Amino acid sequence: MTARHEQRGRILVITIDRPEKRNAINAEITEGIDRALNELDDTPELWAGVITGTPTMFSAGTDISSRDARATERGGEYGLIRRQRRKPLIAAVEGNALGGGFEIALACDLIVASTTARFGLPEVSRGVIATSGALFRAMRALPINVAREMLIAGTVLDAHRALQLGLVCEVTEPEQACAAAVALAERICEASPHSVQQTLAAINRQLVLEDEAGWEATRIAVEAILASEDMQEGNAAFFEKRRPEWKGR
């Protein structure tokens, strides 16, 4: 399966639908997200979007067995991470949003989660790092010490903790996150779309320099990781289903 989308009034709902692979992102999913978000961006009758997963899983991040989720021209990683959006996008999270899955949620404007939601950044346990915005967006969305703990200790947040910390704006019963996100999008659509878009543009203009610094810091860290023995060991241990033996270099 892929990322499918459907229009509900003035709202475009995008669903990552690859449950057999925990909604891990590959080239097909990336293309589907990119295509849907291009439609949202380019269709005047669409005023807001919702992105969600399947009833028990948002996304486990990049499909490391294929590693073919190339960046798109308009959206960057996953067709979303570096997109210059004008219209509000809400993440509706059921189950795990891990690694790149969490980074997809962080790239949205708002997050709605059900009680089953769990947010985490487990990359360091595999000898790699978060590469799709979490190194700076996590500490923007969360207290810096919480973000740091997630990034270097792999601590996972449940939905209620995420609500307390302000990461998510609403917690629902299981399998109700998408419905609540659509309802929130409908409330947004009661306002002037021009006013909403200009408000988001004003917010995003203030973050441009922070984002540039964040991407440069990410680039430097990624280059160091790509040259490391620990990355090779982490990948080998993952596929061999064993504990890694870290070299520290």
Task: List pLDDT tens digits, range 43-72.
Answer: 999 999 999 999 999 999 999 877 777 899
**pLDDT, tens digit (0-9, with 9 covering 90-100), for 19-47:** 999 999 999 999 999 999 999 999 999 99
**pLDDT, tens digit (0-9, with 9 covering 90-100), for 134-184:** 999 999 999 999 999 999 999 999 999 999 999 999 999 999 999 999 999
Question: Residue 95 is encoded by which pair of tokens?
Answer: 């189950």
Mean pLDDT of the chain: 96
Q: From 194, 208, 134, select the one nearest 167 (Cα to Cα).
A: 134
Which SS3 state, helix, strand or coil, does residue 73 take? coil
Question: Residue 55 is encoded by which pair of tokens?
Answer: 């009833």
**Catalytic position from the list 77, 94, 123, 170:** 123
**pLDDT, tens digit (0-9, with 9 covering 90-100), for 185-225:** 999 999 999 999 999 999 999 999 999 999 999 999 999 99
Q: Is 190 a catalytic residue?
A: no
Angle (CA) 152-156-159 rounded to 5° is 145
In the prediction, which pLDDT does 1 show? 65
Q: What are phi and psi of 70, to 5 degrees?
A: -70, 150
**pLDDT, tens digit (0-9, with 9 covering 90-100), for 88-147:** 999 999 999 999 999 999 999 999 999 999 999 999 999 999 999 999 999 999 999 999
In the prediction, which pLDDT does 239 show? 85
Which SS3 state, helix, strand or coil, does residue 129 take? coil
Q: Which domains does the chain have, with CATH numbers?
A: 3-196 (3.90.226.10)
Q: What are phi and psi of 34, to 5 degrees?
A: -60, -45
**Catalytic position from the list 103, 190, 212, 245:** 103
Residue 108 DSSP one-character state:
S
Residue 8: how many other CB atoms lie within 10 Å = 13
In the prediction, which pLDDT does 130 show? 97
In the prediction, which pLDDT does 238 show? 85
Q: Residue 78: is its pLDDT beyond 90?
A: yes
Residue type, 98: L
Q: Give mean pLDDT, residues 12-16.
A: 98
In the prediction, which pLDDT does 70 show? 82
Q: What is the 3-state secondary structure (H, E, C) of the chain?
A: CCEEEEEECCEEEEEECCHHHCCCECHHHHHHHHHHHHHHHHCCCCCEEEEECECCEEECCECCCCCCCCCECCCEHHHCCCCCCCCCEEEEECCEEECHHHHHHHCCCEEEEECCCEEECCHHHHCCCCCCCHHHHHHHHCCHHHHHHHHHHCCCEEHHHHHHCCCCCEEECCCCHHHHHHHHHHHHCCCCHHHHHHHHHHHHHCCHHHHHHHHHHHHHHHHHHHCCHHHHHHHHHHHHCCCCCCCCC
Question: Residue 23 is encoded by which pair of tokens?
Answer: 């909604």
Contact 86, 204 (CB under 8 A): no
Q: Is 103 a catalytic residue?
A: yes
In angstroms, the CA 98 to CA 108 distance is: 15
